């Protein structure tokens, strides 16, 4: 009849059959179109290759690609190449397939964003980061930039490689009869391993694109682990300018790193900027700054940060209180050390033995026997409550018995908690018998 389908009709039919996984019918369609019309459009061929790849039928997709000119008389363009690279790099990542993909990639006259991005993803998945960086370098020269997913994978894998290289280091032990090699933690890390990731980040920044917030956080974290806080602050500035959602988390990571390295001025500036912008610092930020200031003996500023912490309703943890107590204890400031420890007990935190012992000795040195007894009562009641809340009945009974024998009165709350937990387990009478001893001894 001489009737011929238009290209867009053939493409619609190829897509229709591909979605229904009728691949034999697709090939018949392409053969029919080729025999009647003389050629198949690159769009129709790309659709078939993509659907075959999604189903894992890699050999059939390759067969179509290889027959593109001989059988289907289709002059391949970037669309055909990109779909074939997508199948080889994203759907079937193996070294054999990547080698084949590289061969196809080098045949493309003008690689575009998607062909380069497909190659970067495939190479990163197999750990061929050097080759992936070479392709990224070529893209940068011709003014083409990768997709965001390819950028995320490239920077993410570079950060992971840096973390692995910096985590351990081989050390040869020679001063023995039989030398041997051991793995030891690498505290300083290898700062050169992260440089390619940083270079990619700054290169892509000029295009107006950025990796995902997860990758930005990962990059800042790795830079901080390696001690490159200056670069981490620069990345944080970019995240702040672009109004990324990871800004608050980025502040926490960078400030903690600055505090760990005792960079007081930089940490203070970032902390002040964070408060000025209305951001709410997390517990780790306050704890890091307080710990740094206490190490440097700047207790006045440390208490100032502690007051800001309470004002912003950020509940201190055990570590924060312990740091402040020990700092004041070393400065022989028994009053503040005692107040902080009592406040700590009031919030339900149990201090370490060294912390309690430090404050107790300070109070005794300053003839504060009454406060020593008050502190002991508070601590013992807190320990009893903790045992009751953990349903440790035997231990709670022994603790209460010990307190009674020592003449330490149970607080009203501790007594109620003790009775409640024993009542819940059907042992209320045992608890009441023990508590009656307190009343009889008091009488």
The model's confidence at residue 46, banded by pLDDT at 50, 70 and 90, is confident
**Per-residue pLDDT at 374:** 92
More confident residue, 280 or 21: 280
> How far apart are alpha carbons 79 and 66 in whole angstroms?
15
The token pair at 134 is 């070479």
SS3 131: helix
Mind listing the pLDDT tens digit for each residue in 255-294?
999 999 999 999 999 999 999 999 999 999 999 999 999 9
- CA atoms of 256 and 288, how far apart (whole Å): 6
| Greatest mean pLDDT among 16-20, 122-126, 186-190, 255-259 | 255-259
pLDDT band with cut points at 50, 70 and 90 for residue 19:
confident
Look up residue 304 and give its two tokens: 């100032």
Overall size of the chain counted in residues? 443
Percent of the chain with pLDDT over 70: 91
pLDDT one-digit tens code per residue, 84-121: 888 888 766 678 888 888 998 988 888 889 999 999 99
User: What span, in angstroms and rounded, lies between the C-alpha atoms of 363 and 328?
Assistant: 13
> What's the token pair of residue 168?
């351990």
User: Exposure of 5 by Cβ count < 10 A (0-12 exposed, 13-18 middle, 19+ buried)?
Assistant: middle
pLDDT digits (tens, 9 = 90+) for 309-349: 999 999 999 999 999 999 999 888 999 999 999 999 988 88
pLDDT tens digits, one per residue of 216-249: 999 999 999 988 999 999 999 999 999 999 999 9
Nearest partner of 97 among 137, 130, 64, 62, judged by Cα = 62
Report d(CA 358, CA 351) in Å as an integer: 11
Instruction: Return the number of other C-beta atoms located less than 10 Å from residue 39's C-beta.
Output: 15
Nearest alpha carbon to residue 100 among 50, 52, 44, 59: 59
Average pLDDT value for residue range 124-149: 89
Q: Which element (helix H / strand E) includes 183? A: strand 180-185
Q: In which element (H, E) is residue 310 found? A: helix 299-311
Give the closest residue to 245 by CA, choosing from 212, 277, 267, 282.
212
What pLDDT is stored for residue 124 in this prediction? Answer: 92
**3-state class (DSSP) for residue 20:** coil
Reported as type and span, the H/E element at residue 168 is strand 168-173
Predicted local confidence at residue 1, as pLDDT:
44
The pTM assigned to this predicted structure is 0.79
């Amino acid at each position: 009849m001489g009737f011929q389908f238009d290209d867009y009709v053939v493409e619609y039919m190829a897509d229709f059959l591909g979605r229904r996984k009728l691949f034999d019918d697709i090939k018949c369609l392409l053969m029919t179109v080729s025999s009647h019309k003389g050629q198949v459009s690159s769009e129709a061929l790309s659709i078939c290759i993509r659907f075959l790849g999604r189903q894992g039928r890699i050999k059939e997709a390759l067969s179509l690609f290889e027959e593109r000119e001989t059988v289907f008389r289709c002059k391949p363009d970037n669309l055909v190449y990109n779909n074939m690279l997508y199948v080889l790099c994203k759907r079937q990542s193996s070294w054999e397939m990547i080698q084949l993909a590289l061969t196809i990639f080098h045949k493309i006259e003008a690689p575009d964003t998607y062909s380069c991005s497909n190659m970067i993803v495939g190479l990163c998945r197999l750990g061929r980061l050097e080759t992936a960086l070479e392709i990224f370098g070529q893209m940068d020269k011709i003014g083409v930039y990768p997709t965001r997913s390819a950028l995320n994978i490239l920077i993410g894998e570079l950060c992971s490689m840096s973390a692995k290289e910096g985590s351990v280091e081989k050390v040869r032990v020679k001063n023995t009869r039989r030398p041997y090699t051991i793995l030891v933690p690498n505290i300083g890390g290898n700062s050169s391993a992260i440089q390619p990731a940083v270079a990619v980040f700054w290169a892509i920044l000029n295009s107006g694109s950025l990796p995902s917030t997860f990758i930005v956080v990962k990059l800042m974290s790795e830079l901080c682990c390696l001690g490159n806080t200056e670069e981490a602050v620069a990345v944080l500035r970019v995240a702040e300018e672009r109004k990324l959602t990871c800004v608050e988390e980025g502040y926490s990571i960078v400030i903690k790193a600055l505090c760990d390295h005792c960079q007081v001025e930089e940490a203070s500036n970032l902390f002040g900027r964070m408060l000025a912008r209305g951001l709410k610092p997390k517990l780790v930020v306050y704890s890091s700054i307080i710990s740094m200031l206490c190490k440097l003996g700047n207790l006045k500023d440390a208490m100032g940060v502690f007051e800001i912490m309470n004002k912003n309703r950020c509940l201190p943890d055990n570590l924060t209180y312990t740091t402040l107590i020990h700092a004041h204890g070393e400065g022989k400031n028994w009053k503040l050390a005692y107040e902080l420890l009592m406040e700590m007990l009031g919030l339900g935190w149990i201090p370490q033995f060294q912390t309690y012992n430090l404050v107790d000795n300070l109070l005794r040195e300053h003839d504060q026997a009454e406060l020593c007894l008050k502190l002991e009562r508070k601590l013992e009641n807190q320990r009893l409550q903790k045992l009751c809340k953990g349903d440790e009945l035997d231990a709670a009974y022994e603790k209460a018995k010990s307190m009674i024998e020592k003449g330490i009165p149970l607080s009203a709350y501790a007594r109620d908690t003790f009775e409640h937990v024993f009542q819940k387990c059907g042992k209320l009478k045992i608890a009441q018998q023990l508590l009656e001893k307190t009343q009889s001894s008091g009488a």
